[in-house]
Each structure stands twice: as structure tokens, then as C-alpha cells.
């Protein structure tokens, strides 16, 4: 049976390397190392080694996906994309999601509300564009409708501000051409024709 002959810290000091019979056996995070109580001259069975390696691999992935989720709220689709990108074993995925859900890291409704709030505060969008963005993030139709229904979005004001930022494009055009280009511009930004008509008329009269 394998014998632990030495235990050394890795360069980052957050993980350790365990040597079995004077050869590298496996790496392990400090939390599991302390929990398992490993020590030099300890004898392990082959099954114990396999279990420790599996737990160590899981913790390594878990730490990374926690960092990914800590940067900003993420949708469930984004987490699944991360797991696929990093080729995480299928045997780990359900437990990873269970832990993330317990921490409220996986919550599509909460994510959708955050996304809409961020957009309105920093890059205002029409409801139609927000709907498209959320669908691309994997958010369900009902959740999107609920969140957008609760959000206080003044599309008229958003459309006006959107035009104001680009007003240099039509300042030298005649009235008809300016109206046409403004209308097309706002349509491309996802605003309804009802909103476009109000904004273009108001803007032209000012």
C-alpha cells in the first residue's frame, strides 16, 4: 500500500503536493489536506488514494468556478458554458450546481434583474433589445416577461437619449432625411414604431 513519504507546499502556498513512496502522488487544496489529516509515514489504501484525488480534483474546479461566479452574477447557461469550455468531468457537474445553488450563485431571475438594472444604469436599451440579450443568456420567456414587467423602464426617455448621442449624424440633413434616418436608427435599436414616432416628432419640433 502507498506510503506518504513527503508533503510539500506548491509555489502559490494554497495547495500541497503529496509524495507516495518517494514519487509525486497528487496535489491537494489546503482545506481537504487539513480535513483529511494527512501526514508523513501515513499508509493509504489504493481506494483511499483514488477518493482523495477525486475530492482534490473537485475542489480545484469548485474554487475556479466560484471565482468565475464572483466576478459578476451569471446565468445558468453561462455556468454550463464555462464547464464545457474547461472540459469539466460530467461526474462533477451536478454537485457543482448543487453547491452553487445553495450559495444562490445560480438564480436566473436574480441574474435577469441584475442585467436589466446594469443596462439601464450604464447602457440603456429598449425592452426588445433587453429581451433578446436575456434570451441569448439562456433566460426563460416567463422570467424575462416578469423581470421586464417589474422594471421601471422609460423607453421614451431612453430613445431620446439614444438619439441625442448620435445627433451629429443628421444635424446637416434636411427635415425629411433627418426624420427617416432617426426612425431607422431607433428601429435598429429595438424601439417600437409608437415610441419612434413620438421621439422623432418631438425631437424635430425642438
pLDDT digits (tens, 9 = 90+) for 49-67: 999 988 888 988 999 999 9
In whole angstroms, what is the distance from residue 98 CA to residue 12 CA? 28
Please report which helix (H) or strand (E) contains residue 69, including its range: helix 46-71
- 36 and 89 fall within a common domain: yes
* Closest CA relative to residue 106, chosen from 65, 136, 141: 65
- 20 and 48 fall within a common domain: yes
Can you give the pLDDT at residue 202? Answer: 58
- 39 and 98 fall within a common domain: yes
In whole angstroms, what is the distance from residue 52 CA to residue 41 CA? 17
- 61 and 48 fall within a common domain: yes
Per-residue pLDDT band at 69 (split at 50, 70, 90): very high
Average pLDDT over residues 155-179: 89
Q: Which domain holds residue 146?
A: 108-150
Does residue 91 surpass a pLDDT of 70? yes
- 136 and 190 fall within a common domain: no
- 89 and 167 fall within a common domain: no
- 25 and 82 fall within a common domain: yes
Does residue 204 surpass a pLDDT of 70? no
Can you give the pLDDT at residue 203? Answer: 53
Percentage of the chain exceeding pLDDT 70: 98
Does residue 171 surpass a pLDDT of 90? no
pLDDT digits (tens, 9 = 90+) for 134-166: 999 999 999 999 999 999 899 999 999 999 988
Tell me how many domains the chain contains: 3
Query: Which distant-in-sequence residues (6+ apart) come within 8 Å of 29 by Cβ?
Result: 14, 15, 56, 59, 60, 63
- 94 and 182 fall within a common domain: no
Can you give the pLDDT at residue 206? Answer: 47
- Burial level of 180, CB count in 10 A (0-12/13-18/19+)? middle
Does residue 205 surpass a pLDDT of 80? no
Q: What's the pTM value of the predicted model, to 2 decimals?
A: 0.78
- 113 and 81 fall within a common domain: no
> What are the DSSP calls for 83-139, one per residue?
HHHTT--HHHHHHHHHHHHHTT-B-HHHHHHHHHHHHHHHS---HHHHHHHHHHTT-
Q: What is the CATH number of the domain that holds 37?
A: 1.10.10.10
Average pLDDT over residues 25-34: 88
- 184 and 124 fall within a common domain: no
- 64 and 90 fall within a common domain: yes
Average pLDDT over residues 121-143: 94
Q: Whole-number mean pLDDT of the chain? A: 91
Amino acid at each position: 500500500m502507498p506510503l506518504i513519504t513527503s508533503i510539500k507546499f506548491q509555489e502559490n502556498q494554497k495547495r500541497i503536493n503529496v509524495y507516495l513512496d518517494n514519487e509525486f502522488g497528487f496535489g491537494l487544496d489546503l482545506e481537504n489536506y487539513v480535513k483529511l489529516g494527512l501526514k508523513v509515514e501515513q499508509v493509504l489504501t489504493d481506494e483511499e488514494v483514488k477518493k482523495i484525488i477525486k475530492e482534490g480534483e473537485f475542489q480545484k474546479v469548485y474554487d475556479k468556478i466560484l471565482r468565475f461566479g464572483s466576478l459578476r452574477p451569471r446565468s445558468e447557461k453561462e455556468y454550463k458554458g464555462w464547464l464545457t469550455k474547461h472540459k469539466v468531468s460530467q461526474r462533477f457537474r451536478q454537485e457543482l450546481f448543487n453547491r452553487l445553488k445553495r450559495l444562490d450563485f445560480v438564480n436566473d431571475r436574480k441574474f435577469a434583474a441584475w442585467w436589466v438594472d446594469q443596462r439601464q444604469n450604464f447602457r440603456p436599451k429598449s425592452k426588445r433589445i433587453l429581451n433578446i440579450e436575456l434570451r441569448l443568456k439562456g433566460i426563460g420567456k416567463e422570467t424575462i416577461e416578469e423581470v421586464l414587467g417589474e422594471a421601471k423602464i422609460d423607453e421614451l426617455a431612453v430613445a431620446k437619449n439614444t438619439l441625442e448621442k448620435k445627433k451629429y449624424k443628421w444635424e446637416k440633413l434636411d427635415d425629411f432625411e433627418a426624420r427617416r434616418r432617426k426612425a431607422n436608427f431607433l428601429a435598429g435599436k429595438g424601439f417600437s414604431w409608437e415610441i419612434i414616432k413620438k421621439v422623432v416628432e418631438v425631437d424635430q419640433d425642438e
